[in-house]
Structure 1
Amino acid sequence: MRKDTRFKYLIIAILVGLIMILAACNDEGTDNEGEATEGDKSLRILSNVVGGKTPEENELFVEEIERLTDIKVELVKPPADYDQKLLTAMSSGEKFDLVLLTKNLMDILVDQGVLTEISDQIAESDILSDTTVIPEKEWDLIEYEDGNYYGVFNKFEGGTMPIVRQDWMEKLNLQQPETLEDFYNVFKAFKEQDPDGNGKDDTYGLSTAGLYDIQGFLSAEGVKYKYVYNEEGERTIPIASEAAVPVLEWFAKLYEEGLLDPNFATNETSQMRELFLTDRVGMVTYWDAWVGLFNNIRLEDDPNTEFKAKGIPGAVGPEGDIILRRGDPSLWAIPVNAESPGVAKEFLEFWHSEKGNVLSTLGIEGHDYTLTDGKYELTEIGKEHSMDHGVVVPNNTNWENPIGSLPGVEEAQEIILEHATLETSTEDWPEAEKIVQNYAFKAMMGEIPAKEAVNKMHEELMDAGLIDY
């Protein structure tokens, strides 16, 4: 064989060898679906509440996820208009491996066909299919037709309820209210009997942030605030019916007598919370988790405070029932265009493990808490964050907070579990709510009679095609 021919074959052999080596390296870095495997795992996540409290702390939160999971994470956390950002991202085809959303938004995106059906992934997971982690009755809340699932819980969402200054109740020797008349008498005492002891007429009985959330009072007439469906699948909104008239008239009486915060219709939730924390109002309507957060905030400010927030049931209805609102489930979903769905499932299993529960509540080790000889202790920053990094209570029945629960939370959650039901939201609700709010506020502030308000509310909803009867 000639020398140049032997040289040519040698070059070819070297090139073939290099190609085989590169192919082998590539096979080690990806699985059969082309998804990155161990050593090269990554996720792009869209979230609002999960993460750090500041952009700087958000980076620490991501580093903690990466330390605990060996998954490289990009956490996108829009500063505002999260729901719109989510819907825009999904409609434009922007790629995320996981998105955080509520059940009503998941309904919309399931209809649009942009979320992955994950029933098989849940069934194959020892953690996610374990009913001592996520009870079957919780899965029932997010089950679609044919037993399909499109999301996994982020946390136990809880619900909304009346939250009262229990220290004021005890100081004024008041009993827990059960009827609207009972609530009225409590509010009157809060207004007139100087519960904060400053000698000034500067307290209100009740404050809300608009109609968020008056369900505990609508309960007195067995009325729900949002959509309900009859057996024929027709929609209505019970607050737009004559059944709601006595409750709206009761609110008008509170407003006229100065027992209701006059700014209730325009309050943001932050303003309502501030009134409660600064001894200006005796009752608000808010989330069960905030019973503990209210107590913790005041205790951190003054360990000797007499302040005591307590969650209580709403008004008893005609059939002896109490109707409270269960919060729309907070969920993680995998878009159909996710590049790493397998890694997303791995993250969800981590999220529902003990390490994931600690991260989502207590926060970042060495920043929010320290761990010494098995003992957890919050740092000063951790105390400010109130054990909430997107989750106050994990949706994991095995979870026991190593620091302990915030004061009053467990009792409030028991009330929610006993009395609260999910509200039904649809794509039409934002438009329907504008009509509901317009006439409800007019009735509650005495601008028009309550019966006229609900009649006009119902008429406009029907004309707009937002209800069926």
Structure 2
Amino acid sequence: MFNKKAGMIAAVVLSTSILATACSTNTDKTAAPNVSSETAKPAKQETLRILSNVAGGKTPEENVLFEKEVERLTGIKVTIEKPAADYDKKLYAAISAGEKYDLIYMGKGNMDVLVDQGALMPLNDKIKASKILSDPSVIPTKEWDMITYKNGQIFSVFNKSEGGTLPTVRQDWMDKLKLQQPKSLEDFYQVLKAFKEKDPDGNGKDDTYGLSTAGLYDIQGFMSAAGVKYKYVIDASGKRSIPYATEAAVPIYEWFAKLYKEGILDPNFATNDSAKMRELFLTNRVGMVTYWDAWVGLFNNMKKTDDPNFKAKAIAGAVGPDGKIMLRRGDPSVWGIPVNAEHADTAMKFLEFWHSEKGNILSTLGIEGDDYTVKDGKYTLTDEGVKHGMDHGAPFPNNTNFKNPIGTLPGALEGRQVIFDNNATIENSTKDWPSAEKIVTNYAFQAMMGKLPAADAVKKMNDELKAAKLID
């Protein structure tokens, strides 16, 4: 168990290690005689070069403060590089070019590719030797299964505890229109239709939609009605299929086509990015979106001042043929150490810190004095901290001992519970998914917008995937 007391012990151990290094000139028998402690060389500064698109400051200026805060708390001088865009391309390009990073942040899909390339260092022995990272109360044992490869090899350490994606509804609109939480696909249709037709924002205009998405991201809560899963499903014999490209998915595409034809589905869903979708939700233009559970709390936090009646709520998806709901749990976000890292041991020290109480405070609340203040043991967010939503890389740490001293944003914990209670599993990408995704997306959009009958779209989708040897 890693708590405050354990943090103090770790700090003492680290300080003792540094002191021993600093004094080594006095204990080395080959050292020159009469070398006093005053003239001994100081310990070399531990450094890390980190590539990340999530952990760190919210702006370039705050990122500098974040680096200094890590150094204050750990003694490690870090450089955190956060590309402004195209993170995956930067990550792959850097590894291919042999750039030397000590830690890289990535999703499981990225990790699958890099493990296949032999670019990451196996970490089993280092994790086993760590009292912190091997503690099941810090990282639950079953979580490691999600990032364990063949022969039991582990190439990363978790960044945070992932939730998942699910339908998020304007509960204040539900209450106003006296609607019940939907369970079947027909229930969802009736709720979304009411959001479109019954003026839920009360402005007297026909300017609302029932549902918006950012493309296929993430319609899993509705595909649940057919019991089909996004991306790859690989059976015991290794045979690959993509359920979204099977006949089972046809009724769901037809359901979307009905929403699109009736103006219930945001007509720009296929070209939306997540920012545009979020804006529609926050500006009273749409009653339901499909997004991360953590954003339930962020939505409520963003609107609490200018619209106290606003209430976002996470709901489960549509019940499937087996009576269960099939949601998506987010791919694990992890830290890996490249095989050419120059400071692997220091990287492990950072990862131990990241999963400690002080690291949890940094990864959630942020930087003391910038994002929050502490007075008489009470933590208070600054105005800047409120804007940052208690997310500096890990809004929900893996450490089960950690309790956020400020609490969680309204609706966030309830959203996570919906994910954990409803068969939410990670998706299987494989290195072929980027090519397969283009084909799936193309024909799914044509079916959802009624440009092709759903059955025809699925057949074409399936035929192209087979021809490209992307499914078996």
Q: CA deviation at 1:392?
A: 1.3
Q: CA deviation at 1:347?
A: 0.4
Task: Give yes or no for the alignment of 1:177 onto 2:182.
Answer: yes
* Residue 169 of structure 2: aligned partner: 164
CA distance in 2, matches of 1:290, 1:244: 28
* Residue 360 of structure 1: aligned partner: 363
Which of 436, 444, 448 does residue 448 from structure 2 map onto? 444
Task: Give yes or no for the alignment of 1:459 onto 2:463.
Answer: yes
Q: CA deviation at 1:200?
A: 0.7
1:362–1:369 CA contact under 8 A, matched in 2: yes
The RMSD of aligned alpha carbons is 1.8
Task: Give yes or no for the alignment of 1:93 onto 2:126.
Answer: no
Relative distance call for 1:54 and 1:145 in structure 2 (3 A) is same
Q: CA deviation at 1:157?
A: 1.7
SS of the aligned residue for 2:49 comes to strand
* Residue 278 of structure 1: aligned partner: 283
- The one-letter code matched in structure 2 to 1:393 is F
CA distance in 1, matches of 2:58, 2:216: 28
Which of 400, 403, 406 does residue 400 from structure 1 map onto? 403
Which of 231, 236, 248 does residue 241 from structure 2 map onto? 236
CA distance in 1, matches of 2:336, 2:43: 22
SS of the aligned residue for 1:356 comes to helix
Which of 374, 377, 386 does residue 377 from structure 2 map onto? 374
1:242–1:454 CA contact under 8 A, matched in 2: yes
Task: Give yes or no for the alignment of 1:421 onto 2:425.
Answer: yes
1:228–1:237 CA contact under 8 A, matched in 2: yes
CA distance in 2, matches of 1:418, 1:268: 28
* Residue 119 of structure 2: aligned partner: 114
1:104–1:425 CA contact under 8 A, matched in 2: yes
CA distance in 1, matches of 2:429, 2:84: 25
* Cα displacement string for residues 248-291 of structure 1 (whole angstroms, at most 9, x for unaligned residues): 00000000001000000000100000000000000000000000
CA distance in 2, matches of 1:102, 1:56: 25
Q: CA deviation at 1:22?
A: 13
Task: Give yes or no for the alignment of 1:63 onto 2:68.
Answer: yes
CA distance in 2, matches of 1:73, 1:439: 46
* Cα displacement string for residues 314-338 of structure 1 (whole angstroms, at most 9, x for unaligned residues): 1000001111111110000111111
* Cα displacement string for residues 114-147 of structure 1 (whole angstroms, at most 9, x for unaligned residues): 1110111111111101111110111111111222
Residue ranges of structure 2 left out of the alignment (5+ in a row)? 1-28
* Residue 204 of structure 1: aligned partner: 209
- The one-letter code matched in structure 2 to 1:309 is A
Relative distance call for 1:23 and 1:430 in structure 2 (3 A) is farther
* Residue 354 of structure 2: aligned partner: 351
Q: CA deviation at 1:418?
A: 2.1
* Residue 198 of structure 2: aligned partner: 193
* Residue 409 of structure 1: aligned partner: 412
Which of 125, 130, 148 does residue 125 from structure 1 map onto? 130
* Cα displacement string for residues 4-43 of structure 1 (whole angstroms, at most 9, x for unaligned residues): xxxxxxxxxxxxx998479999xx98xxxxxxx9652111
* Residue 322 of structure 2: aligned partner: 319
CA distance in 1, matches of 2:382, 2:151: 47
CA distance in 2, matches of 1:117, 1:439: 39
SS of the aligned residue for 1:168 comes to helix
Q: CA deviation at 1:74?
A: 1.3
CA distance in 2, matches of 1:223, 1:337: 41
- The one-letter code matched in structure 2 to 1:432 is A
Task: Give yes or no for the alignment of 1:310 onto 2:313.
Answer: yes
SS of the aligned residue for 2:319 comes to coil
* Residue 340 of structure 2: aligned partner: 337
* Cα displacement string for residues 69-103 of structure 1 (whole angstroms, at most 9, x for unaligned residues): 00011111111111111111111111011100111
Relative distance call for 1:22 and 1:465 in structure 2 (3 A) is farther
Q: What is the identity percentage for the equivalent residue pairs of Structure 1 and Structure 2?
A: 66
Q: How many residues align?
A: 441
Which of 431, 434, 452 does residue 438 from structure 2 map onto? 434
SS of the aligned residue for 1:422 comes to coil
Relative distance call for 1:191 and 1:38 in structure 2 (3 A) is farther
Which of 368, 384, 387 does residue 384 from structure 1 map onto? 387
* Cα displacement string for residues 131-169 of structure 1 (whole angstroms, at most 9, x for unaligned residues): 111101111111112221110000112110000001111
Q: CA deviation at 1:397?
A: 1.0
* Cα displacement string for residues 326-373 of structure 1 (whole angstroms, at most 9, x for unaligned residues): 111000011111111111110000000010000011000000000111
Runs of 4+ in 1 over 6 A off after TM superposition: 21-25
Task: Give yes or no for the alignment of 1:250 onto 2:255.
Answer: yes
| TM-score, length-scaled by structure 2 | 0.91
CA distance in 2, matches of 1:279, 1:78: 32
Relative distance call for 1:329 and 1:21 in structure 2 (3 A) is farther
SS of the aligned residue for 2:216 comes to coil
CA distance in 2, matches of 1:22, 1:289: 61
CA distance in 1, matches of 2:245, 2:85: 32
- The one-letter code matched in structure 1 to 2:215 is G
Which of 82, 87, 100 does residue 82 from structure 1 map onto? 87
SS of the aligned residue for 1:421 comes to coil
* Residue 218 of structure 1: aligned partner: 223
SS of the aligned residue for 2:210 comes to strand
CA distance in 2, matches of 1:108, 1:20: 51
Task: Decide which structure has the larger Cα Rg and report it.
Answer: 1
- The one-letter code matched in structure 2 to 1:348 is L
CA distance in 2, matches of 1:277, 1:184: 21
* Cα displacement string for residues 148-192 of structure 1 (whole angstroms, at most 9, x for unaligned residues): 111000011211000000111111111110111000000111011
CA distance in 2, matches of 1:222, 1:72: 49
- The one-letter code matched in structure 2 to 1:191 is K
| TM-score, length-scaled by structure 1 | 0.92
* Greater mean deviation of Cα atoms: 138-147 or 185-194: 138-147
1:39–1:70 CA contact under 8 A, matched in 2: no
Residue ranges of structure 1 left out of the alignment (5+ in a row)? 1-16, 30-36
